[in-house]
Amino acid sequence: MNSVTSNQSNASLEPSLPRRNTRARFWKTFLDQRYLYLMSAPFALMVLVFNYVPIWGWIMAFQKYRIGKPFWAQEWVGFQQFVLLFQDDRFYNALWNTLAMSCMGLVVGFTIPIVFALLLNELSNGVFKRFVQTVSYLPHFVSWVVVAGIVYKMLSTDDGAINQLLQFFGQQPVQFMAKNEYFWGIVTVSDLWKELGWNTIIYLAAMTAIDTEQYDAARVDGADRWQLMWHITLPGISRVIMVLLVLAIGHLIAIGFEKQLLLGNPMVKDASQVLDLYALNYGLGANNFSFGTAISVINSVVGVILLFGTNAFFKWRTGESVL
């Protein structure tokens, strides 16, 4: 009888042992890496202050906010701002422009840096490779104000390099900056030129982690450089590509407004209006802060849905989760 009782008591204690061991390992790891935690604490605090604390401002989307009134004196209007938003045709135009330019930027701005990183990785001349990397990185540090000025100068109908080239081949000058059909392409190409080199950094770093013995073994089997690239390099960075793709799709609708504001003009207003610019013009610009906040709420919610939806799709297809 005593043995049965002791066995039951031991069995009741067994589930708690893994939890105790887990806690013990956690605190041991925490103490061993306490300096790393302390180093990361300021960055975690910065993310908390600038990314999570401002979420309380979403409350303005459910108010008729007026500057100067205290929080408790604001008029609550429920979902009125969202109703007005979905009844506005300009919202759907801005949403369409945002999704179109985001998809174009995702296809072009995500695939070409991978190809560029693969080609850079194949360069054997170290001096030339570093030169190309440096030249390709530099536009990232140039502000969009300067980039917009360069684009306007290049596409000018008076002395722009593109139109001079067209005239050299007997074509008429084209007013690129005055036609809606060219605006999306101009924004996509400009963004690609500015961020191409910078976006390759992560892929080049991931390539350095690939075991060189795989290349040596493949060369012994007779693989050429293209086969090495296709069967070793690309699979070696596939995990990084998947993570960056999920994050890029999550930010698909949050493309900002700097490019569209600086490259746009009244003649291409229908093509340049994106959600962030729409919120700036008809929210902050019209002193309707609640309406602008409602636009930002929709923008953030759609981004979260895209992020978790994409992660769920990749988990279903590959069995791995990025988040």
Would you say residue 63 lies in a domain?
no
pLDDT of residue 184: 92
CATH number for position 274: 1.10.3720.10
**Within a domain: 243:** yes
pLDDT in tens, 5-28: 445 444 444 455 566 677 778 788
Dihedral pair phi/psi, residue 22, rounded to 5°: -65, -45
The answer to whether residue 89 scores a pLDDT higher than 70 is yes
Cα–Cα distance, 87 to 92 (Å, whole number): 9
Residue 93 has pLDDT above 80, yes or no: yes
CB of 182 within 8 A of CB of 171? no
Question: Is residue 58 in a domain?
Answer: no
Half-sphere exposure of 4 (CA within 13 A, CB side): 1
Q: What are phi and psi of 169, to 5 degrees?
A: -95, 15
Count of domains observed in the chain: 1
In a domain, 216, yes or no: yes
Q: Which residues, including other chains, have CB under 8 Å from residue 267's CB and lie 6 or more apart? A: 177, 178, 179
End-to-end CA distance of the chain: 51
Summarize the confidence of residues 268-294 as an average pLDDT.
86
Look over the chain and give the mean of its residue pLDDT values, rounded to a whole number: 84
In a domain, 70, yes or no: no
305 vs 24, residue with greater confidence = 305
Q: Is the torsion defined by CA of 227, 229, 235, 241 positive or negative?
A: negative
Q: Output the pLDDT for position 13.
A: 45
Which domain does 112 fall in, by range?
A: 79-318
213-227, 287-301, 303-317: lowest mean pLDDT where? 303-317
Is the pLDDT at 175 greater than 80? The verdict is yes
- What is the per-residue pLDDT for 22? 75
Q: Which residues of 197-229 are buried (b: 16+ CB within 10 A; e: fewer)?
A: bebbebbbebbeeeeeeebeeeeeeebeeeebe
Inside any domain, residue 6: no
Question: Which has more confidence, 287 or 116?
Answer: 116
Q: Are 137 and 198 in contact (CB under 8 A)?
A: yes
Write the DSSP string, 272-294: H--HHHHHIIIIITTT-HHHHHH
For 236-272, how does the pLDDT look when each residue is reduced to its tens digit (9 = 90+)?
Answer: 888 888 888 888 887 787 787 888 888 988 888 888 8
* 286 touches 295 (CB < 8 A): no
123 burial level (CB within 10 Å; 0-12, 13-18, 19+): middle
Cα 288 from Cα 279, distance rounded (Å): 9
Instruction: Say what the alpha-carbon torsion angle 39, 42, 48, 49 is, to the nearest 10 degrees.
Output: -170
Contact partners, residue 101, CB within 8 Å, separation at least 6: 184, 187, 188, 255, 260, 274
Q: Please provide residue 201's backbone torsions phi and psi, each rounded to the nearest 5 degrees.
A: -60, -45
Asked if residue 196 is part of any domain, the answer here is yes
Confirm whether 50 is domain-assigned: no
**Partners of 76 in the beta sheet?**
63
